[in-house]
Structure 1
Amino acid sequence: MRSDFLFFIILFNLNLYLSAQSGNIQDRKEIMMILADQTIAWNEGDITKFMDGYWKSDSLVFIGSNGVTRGWQKTLDNYKSSYPDKSTMGILKFEVVDLYPIGENTYFMIGKWHLTRMKGNVGGHFTLVWKMINGQWKIVSDHSS
């Protein structure tokens, strides 16, 4: 029930966001839907499903407070190590600041993330590079701080 409500809120905000933007609306909608799916997966405590939005490749690049990580599996392992349980994961909220094309089948996203947790809230900013790979939008580079 809570996931359904959260999904509705995300879709409502998605429609408001898309109506204010220019560019390929379908591409932007698909990317924002993946972000919404990631939010739901995270908030359900499912890091592996959260990772579905990422390119499952050794070429995936993740840049965080510990430096550069290369590869989907290593990124997953780092997430699981940093967020070992649902209480540590908290409730995730994304705010997209900007999303625009930077090349053919490639988008750049700037945003904010926030985790509400009993042990203390945390948050920061992120930049994502999205690329169309085998007919699906995937995050190929993530810089989160």
Structure 2
Amino acid sequence: MGAAPIPPSVETEKAAIRQVIADMELAWNRGDFRGYMAGFLNPGVTFVSRGQFQRDWQGTLDHYVRDYGASPETRGTLHFCDIRIEMLAPDAAQLISRFHLAAKPGQSGINTRLMRKVEGRWVIALNHVSAFEPDSTHPAYCQ
């Protein structure tokens, strides 16, 4: 009779989740929107932004390509910071982070994400974004 597999440690799982976010940031910044979207549950992700629900992985990818894909200037540079992860279960975690998209116009804000481990891989199942355009009274995050 073999021994039961040892579950990954909490810190190992948090590191794997951080790697997903780092990979997404790198993909966005090189213009690889499909690579960026690889961090989201496909097709079952739910996006919440601007008071609306969106449950369409492909539609979101199409939106990014249409609205940000014309050039490096329109895409901007994306950075996530102040990443906080709380494990909720062996296959579920809450992630809260700040972000800044250096583009015209720029955006900063906070992401609240439900991460799920699906088939051994961490993905974002629910993504809530609260964004603003930085100005002199509301400086950008992640700088």
Q: What is the TM-score of this pair, normalised by structure 1? A: 0.76
Which runs of 5 or more structure 2 residues have no equivalent in the other structure? 1-8, 131-143
3-state SS of paired residue (1:53):
coil
Structure-2 residue corresponding to 1:18: none
Distance 1:27 1:84 in 2: 32
Aligned pair 1:144/2:124, yes or no? Answer: no
Q: Which amino acid aligns with 1:103?
A: A
Deviations, residues 6-28 of structure 1 (Å, cap 9, x unaligned): xxxxxxxxxxxxxxxxx701100
Residue 79 of structure 1, aligned match among 57, 60, 64: 64
Larger radius of gyration: 2
How many residues were matched structurally?
A: 121
Q: Is the 8 A contact 1:96 1:109 kept in 2?
A: no
Q: More displaced, 64-73 or 31-40?
A: 64-73
Please give the per-residue CA displacement for 1:12-65, whole angstroms capped at 9, x wherever unaligned: xxxxxxxxxxx70110001101111111111101111100111112x2101112
- Percent same amino acid at aligned positions? 28
Cα distance in 2 for residues equivalent to 1:114 and 1:88: 14
Instruction: Name whichever structure is richer in helix by fraction.
Output: 1
Out of 127, 137, 142, the residue aligned to residue 112 of structure 2 is 127
Partner residue of 1:103?
Answer: 89
Judge conservation of contact 2:31–2:69 (CA < 8 Å) in 1: no
C-alpha RMSD of matched pairs (Å): 1.6
Give the Cα–Cα distance (whole angstroms) in 1 for the partners of residues 39 and 57 of structure 2. Answer: 11
Q: Distance in 2 between the 1:111 and 1:82 partners?
A: 23
Counterpart of 2:17 in structure 1 is 31
Distance apart, 1:66 and its partner CA: 6.0
Distance 2:52 2:30 in 1: 27
Return the alpha-carbon distance in structure 1 between the equivalents of residues 78 and 48 of structure 2. Answer: 19
Work out the CA distance in 2 between the residues paired with 1:71 and 1:35: 20
Give 1:61's aligned amino acid: T
Written as runs of structure 1 = structure 2, the 5 A alignment for 1:3-82 is: 24-57=10-43, 59-65=44-50, 67-82=52-67
Gap regions ≥5 residues in structure 1: 1-22
Shift in Å, 1:96: 3.2
Structure 2 counterpart of 1:125, one-letter code:
I
